[in-house]
Amino acid sequence: MRQMLSFLTIICLLIGVTGCKQPLPPEYYGFQDLQVVQGNGQTQLSSTLKFYNPNPFSIQLKRAELDVSINGKHAGHSLLDSTIFIPKKDTFFVPVSMNLDLKSILSNALAVLLNQEATISLDGRVRLKRGAVTFSRPFHYDGKQDLKSLLPPGSGF
């Protein structure tokens, strides 16, 4: 009888876990507070990414790893290994910091300056937690970024 009760409990847990709808991916809304810092022979970029959670439930972001490309050329890699609470049907912010690959960025510099915009690509994987269930999801974003929006007003670019 005890084994039957344990078996039924495991079956109920499996049905509960597999019956849950997979969360929708967050919507990327842009970034803010862009900072570039030079030190120790490396250039580091930090920013805060803004997202929207379209799901009717909250989630926790446990880990995020992403590669950033500018006009198809690798620009850097970022790893976030801390927990961020993501509220249901609301915006949330993710701090990002990475070392820049200046050789790749400089090879793109003329094309970026002439067009005054760049195609930004983010590719990676995020680990999310909903209740007691942790799962991993791929992340991808492609979009154009207007360089004038990154510069302070009156900079003459």
Q: What is the pLDDT of residues 16-70, one digit of tens each?
A: 554 456 777 788 887 788 888 887 777 888 888 888 999 899 999 899 898 888 8
**What's the pLDDT score for residue 90?**
95
Residue 116 Rama label (left phi>0; alpha psi -120 to 50; beta)? left
Which residue matches tokens 């510099």?
Answer: 109
Higher-pLDDT residue of 116 and 68 is 68
**What's the pLDDT score for residue 1?**
57
- Residues 89, 10: Cα–Cα separation, whole Å: 32
CA dist list (Å): 31 to 9, 137, 154: 45, 21, 21
Which pair of tokens denotes residue 95? 């701090």
Q: What is the mean pLDDT of the chain?
A: 78
**What's the pLDDT score for residue 18?**
47
Share of the chain above pLDDT 70, in %: 74
Closest CA to 100 of 125, 69, 55: 69
Higher-pLDDT residue of 3 and 75 is 75
Residues 50/91, Cβ–Cβ less than 8 Å: yes
> Is the whole-model pTM more than 0.95?
no
Higher-pLDDT residue of 11 and 138 is 138
Higher-pLDDT residue of 108 and 66 is 66
6 pLDDT band, cuts 50/70/90, is: low
Residues 123/137, Cβ–Cβ less than 8 Å: no
